[in-house]
Structure 1
Amino acid sequence: MRAAIIALGLALLAQPAQAAAIDGRALGLIWVIPFAGVLLSIALLPVLAAGFWHHHYGKVAAFWGAAFLLPFAAAFGPAVAGAEVAFVLVQEYLPFIILLLALYTTGGGVLLKGTLVGTPATNTAILAVGTVLASVMGTTGASMLLIRPMLRANAGRRRKVHSFVFFIFLVSNIGGSLTPIGDPPLYLGFLKGVSFFWPTVHLFWPFLLCSVVLLAIYYALDSWLYAKEGPLPAPAAREPLRIEGWVNVALIGVVVLGVLLQGVWKPGDVRVLGEVVGIERLVAMGIFLGVTAASLALTPAVLREANGFAWGAMAEVAKLFAAIFLCMGPVLAILKAGPEGAAAGLVALTSDAAGQPIPWVYFWMTGGLSSFLDNAPTYLVFFNLAGGEPGYLMTQGAATLAAISAGAVFMGANSYIGNAPNFMVKAIVEENGVRMPSFFGYVAWAALFLLPLFVLATLIFFV
């Protein structure tokens, strides 16, 4: 995989320049069908045809990508279709997936060893630590670091599925709301010009409310279930907690520096496939690929084996997100067209009679779509719908941008397809013999515990 990504990056830099843009005013809602198709496939096929999906999800993703691209090329010409592919690849997909790859690889190379007993206090502490770490090392990195210790701690528990559900709520989603390194939507916003620490300032209180309430609910629920089981048998010998793979901790720090670099260093632009790209972004992508290679070279194989590290979850995310980002193109263009586009009715709902944005509508629209579409491209949809100008959105439009950011990050927890780490955690837990809820079963958990909390957050922060 690493070699394929490096080769793809070199191929991009060698291509001749070509530029075009989709005019959203010229697109009807029929162009949304491939996007809806790939997302419905992700939601339904693992439930209705699990064996087929497991072996052919890449082909399904490629089918929906072709279902958009071939008719689009026929309708608007190969040049416009090629330019759209270049835009998605250079501006959105590669920066996103290369950062995710670096965090996945380094997070999977850090091993927390020692005796952990899955008491309510221990489990809540793991969730709390993971929630804080998610904004430092990304929801992917924090999830990969702590999901296996969580599994080991609860190996003797009969009632433990709730622990992994709340793990997805907190570590894989809400915990990543304070920095661009934390969650893909905020990283995409950073690439669009949102300041690095803007989410830290404007999302801190919503983050704190949701985190504290969920941790308190979890502790009460786990205490009740733990009491029904009785105390776990004491381990024969306690091994002190320690971390192995410190080189990967250092490499995660390099990833953070690579993200920060893009906000403070602006050496100029170059053209890649006709797209204007900042040199700092290309350098950062090179750093992330270098970190991935260094992690693979410097981490002992035995450590990754002890961590249960595998590439399956990363490969699934890479293939599915490629189709999502490609098929998302016309949706973004239609929304960007505003009142002149086919989504004029949706646009109208986001503003009041005076034309002012309504933050709580943005929170729930962004969150509602993030629950089932994937929160990273959904963030871009509503970022553009709100004007797409970071300077304005960070100041006069701060309430709107906070609502969009919180909706995308928080409500990515509402389903397995809302955020990339959700997939990964589910896959790892099931690889260890724990049966996770079905797609709709997990949605029921989210409806019970998350939706009332988000209503409370709306009333406090977005009305």
Structure 2
Amino acid sequence: MYRALGLALGAILLLMPEAASAAELDGRTLGFAWALPFAGILLSIALFPLVAPHVWEHHHGKIAALWGVLVLLPMALILGPSTALGALAHTALLEYIPFILLLLALFTVAGGILVRGNIHGAPVTNTVLLAIGTVLASFIGTTGASMVMIRPVMRANDDRRHNVHVIVFFIFLVSNIGGSLTPLGDPPLFLGFLRGVDFFWTTTHLLPETLFASVLLLAVFFAFDAYLYRKEGRIKPDPTPDKPVRITGGINFLLIFVIIGAILMSATVDLGRVTVLGTEVELANALRDAIMVGVTIVSLALTPKENREENGFNWGPIEEVAKLFAGIFITIIPVLAMLKAGSEGVFAPLVALVSNPDGSPNNAAYFWLTGGLSSFLDNAPTYLVFFELAGGDPQHLMTDMALTLAAVSAGAVFMGANSYIGNAPNFMVYAIARQGGVKMPSFFGYLVWSGLILLPTFLLLTLLFFRG
């Protein structure tokens, strides 16, 4: 899948002395050029689907691999093969593999949950459906909740003349904001968990912000939907026959608890450690990752095939995520090292931008800068950038800098809703809705929606929660 990346790794292994030990990257010695591949892959993800969709569809893996090679080969040649191999092993074993296996398990489990039947999309019903999806997102992820809920929501509103707004608010709430309360909800938060943030830290510290944003947006949606509902009436027959609502694939709900239990186990149990290519791997974490593979296999074996067929389930989205994040995790290696250098590194101006004159963190700046970049670039690596910029010490961030970590977390998760490309489920929901006959707004049309509705919401969040 990654031939070029494999060749680069092979070259590193050939260059590496047998007894060499991995040396840690010193971000103080790295220039800005080391950040260009990271910027390149993020811009590729943002722009290629818009300007060259067919090229991107067939070659996104190769493009991601190319950016990864542009980091690994220079690192091996300039800084030494042991440094490159150690950095690659650290990133793969401690971050990329756990990250992608969790997404795989959640994606597979969510794809096996099928909601059959039809209900009528009156304002109260629609608001309840969006609220259910918002809550569900923190347990099976924004992608999982979006895939489970989008078709029932569309069926409920397929006899409405105005239904675009339902899908737009669905993206706001289910595909983004709802995933903010656990590391299962959105990839940035799981990366924070892998970095040492407690599993329930986000549940307690982001609950006020999430409740405020969710309740406000649900209230705005209800008012807008009620206005349109009264205005339009029932002008066409419901194309979906009335059937009682049934949820099948119940085994997958049990598997969600297995996933949660495995993550909590890895954070609390010490089973010892082994060293692989200079990287210390906790056996509890390795067991957690093995459980994710087991959950995936059990879900596939025990879920009726028709569930996945009716859900339109296929492996394309997770394959794309696996390829792209392999490139992202590699290209971000030198960027994180430079951020760790703080004021001694090339990102010193960025440090100053998120700091008050007295040196304390400017939490509003953390919220808006993290969110602004997450609106158009991938929110997971953006989270990591500002996590490191805030110091990168999870214990310090969870206690003395709790408000700063909350600002970074909320910015990354909430503002992924600002554009179609801010979070992976956004474009998936957009594509499914268009395929189902909903006249979704264009890329820039959606920006108008988010600008009018989300930006005022985020301004209120800043005033209420992130002024310190």
Could you tell which deviates more after superposition, 222-231 or 374-383?
222-231
User: Contact 2:370–2:386 at 8 Å: present in 1 too?
Assistant: yes
Matches within 5 A, 1:383-394: 383-394=387-398
Provide the rounded CA distance (Å) in 2 between the counterparts of 1:113 and 1:96. 31
Partner residue, 2:246: 242
Partner residue, 1:174: 177
Answering whether residue 202 of structure 2 is matched by residue 205 of structure 1, we say no
Matches within 5 A, 1:254-403: 254-403=258-407
Provide the rounded CA distance (Å) in 1 between the counterparts of 2:428 and 2:164. 15
Provide the rounded CA distance (Å) in 2 between the counterparts of 1:123 and 1:439. 24
Provide the rounded CA distance (Å) in 1 between the counterparts of 2:387 and 2:403. 12
Judging changes above 3 Å, is the alpha-carbon distance between structure 1 residues 426 and 65 closer, same or farther for their aligned structure 2 residues?
A: farther
Partner residue, 1:223: 226
Q: Equivalent of 1:189, from 187, 192, 199?
A: 192
Provide the rounded CA distance (Å) in 1 between the counterparts of 2:442 and 2:77. 39
1:435 deviates by: 5.1
Provide the rounded CA distance (Å) in 2 between the counterparts of 1:160 and 1:174. 21
Matched positions, count: 449
Provide the rounded CA distance (Å) in 1 between the counterparts of 2:277 and 2:430. 37
**AA partner of residue 51 (structure 1):** H
**AA partner of residue 98 (structure 2):** P
Answering whether residue 414 of structure 2 is matched by residue 414 of structure 1, we say no
1:331 deviates by: 1.6
Partner residue, 1:161: 164
Judging changes above 3 Å, is the alpha-carbon distance between structure 1 residues 398 and 236 closer, same or farther for their aligned structure 2 residues?
A: closer
Partner residue, 1:82: 85
RMSD: 2.1
Answering whether residue 430 of structure 2 is matched by residue 426 of structure 1, we say yes
Judging changes above 3 Å, is the alpha-carbon distance between structure 1 residues 175 and 45 closer, same or farther for their aligned structure 2 residues?
A: same
User: Contact 1:339–1:347 at 8 Å: present in 2 too?
Assistant: yes
> How far does the alpha carbon of each residue in 1:61-83 deviate from its partner, in whole angstroms, 9 at most, with x for none?
22222233333333223322222
Provide the rounded CA distance (Å) in 1 between the counterparts of 2:316 and 2:418. 23
Partner residue, 1:105: 108
Answering whether residue 103 of structure 2 is matched by residue 94 of structure 1, we say no
Provide the rounded CA distance (Å) in 2 between the counterparts of 1:176 and 1:425. 15
User: Contact 1:137–1:256 at 8 Å: present in 2 too?
Assistant: no
Partner residue, 1:138: 141
**AA partner of residue 163 (structure 1):** V
> How far does the alpha carbon of each residue in 1:248-283 deviate from its partner, in whole angstroms, 9 at most, with x for none?
111111111111112221222222332112211111
Provide the rounded CA distance (Å) in 2 between the counterparts of 1:179 and 1:286. 21
1:215 deviates by: 0.9
User: Contact 2:112–2:303 at 8 Å: present in 1 too?
Assistant: yes
Q: Equivalent of 1:59, from 43, 62, 78?
A: 62
Judging changes above 3 Å, is the alpha-carbon distance between structure 1 residues 435 and 238 closer, same or farther for their aligned structure 2 residues?
A: closer
Provide the rounded CA distance (Å) in 2 between the counterparts of 1:242 and 1:315. 30
Provide the rounded CA distance (Å) in 1 between the counterparts of 2:58 and 2:75. 28
Provide the rounded CA distance (Å) in 1 between the counterparts of 2:162 and 2:61. 34
Provide the rounded CA distance (Å) in 2 between the counterparts of 1:230 and 1:166. 21
Provide the rounded CA distance (Å) in 2 between the counterparts of 1:336 and 1:330. 10
User: Contact 1:175–1:207 at 8 Å: present in 2 too?
Assistant: yes
Stretches of structure 2 that go unaligned for 5 or more consecutive residues are 2-17
**AA partner of residue 78 (structure 1):** P
Provide the rounded CA distance (Å) in 1 between the counterparts of 2:91 and 2:163. 40
Q: Equivalent of 2:34, from 31, 36, 47?
A: 31
Provide the rounded CA distance (Å) in 2 between the counterparts of 1:194 and 1:236. 45
Provide the rounded CA distance (Å) in 2 between the counterparts of 1:457 and 1:308. 36
Partner residue, 1:457: 461
1:351 is paired with a residue whose SS is coil
Provide the rounded CA distance (Å) in 2 between the counterparts of 1:93 and 1:113. 35
Judging changes above 3 Å, is the alpha-carbon distance between structure 1 residues 236 and 245 closer, same or farther for their aligned structure 2 residues?
A: closer
> How far does the alpha carbon of each residue in 1:327-371 deviate from its partner, in whole angstroms, 9 at most, with x for none?
122221111110010010111122223221121111112212222
User: Contact 1:47–1:438 at 8 Å: present in 2 too?
Assistant: no
TM-score normalised by L of structure 1:
0.91
Q: Equivalent of 2:51, from 48, 51, 54?
A: 48
Judging changes above 3 Å, is the alpha-carbon distance between structure 1 residues 76 and 166 closer, same or farther for their aligned structure 2 residues?
A: same
Provide the rounded CA distance (Å) in 2 between the counterparts of 1:236 and 1:78. 61
> How far does the alpha carbon of each residue in 1:162-189 deviate from its partner, in whole angstroms, 9 at most, with x for none?
2222212111211111112222222222
1:372 is paired with a residue whose SS is coil
Q: Which runs of 4+ in 1 moved over 6 A?
A: none
Stretches of structure 1 that go unaligned for 5 or more consecutive residues are 2-15
Provide the rounded CA distance (Å) in 1 between the counterparts of 2:228 and 2:329. 41
Provide the rounded CA distance (Å) in 1 between the counterparts of 2:442 and 2:241. 37
1:342 is paired with a residue whose SS is coil
Identity %: 60
**AA partner of residue 416 (structure 1):** Y
> How far does the alpha carbon of each residue in 1:133-162 deviate from its partner, in whole angstroms, 9 at most, with x for none?
112222222122111212222233343232
Judging changes above 3 Å, is the alpha-carbon distance between structure 1 residues 419 and 266 closer, same or farther for their aligned structure 2 residues?
A: farther
1:450 is paired with a residue whose SS is helix
Provide the rounded CA distance (Å) in 2 between the counterparts of 1:455 and 1:236. 40
User: Contact 1:383–1:404 at 8 Å: present in 2 too?
Assistant: yes
Judging changes above 3 Å, is the alpha-carbon distance between structure 1 residues 358 and 93 closer, same or farther for their aligned structure 2 residues?
A: same
**AA partner of residue 383 (structure 1):** F
1:213 deviates by: 1.0
2:357 is paired with a residue whose SS is coil
User: Contact 1:107–1:248 at 8 Å: present in 2 too?
Assistant: yes
1:103 deviates by: 0.5
Partner residue, 1:4: none
**AA partner of residue 355 (structure 1):** G
Partner residue, 1:12: none
1:282 is paired with a residue whose SS is helix
Provide the rounded CA distance (Å) in 1 between the counterparts of 2:238 and 2:228. 18
2:359 is paired with a residue whose SS is coil
User: Contact 2:377–2:421 at 8 Å: present in 1 too?
Assistant: yes
1:217 is paired with a residue whose SS is helix
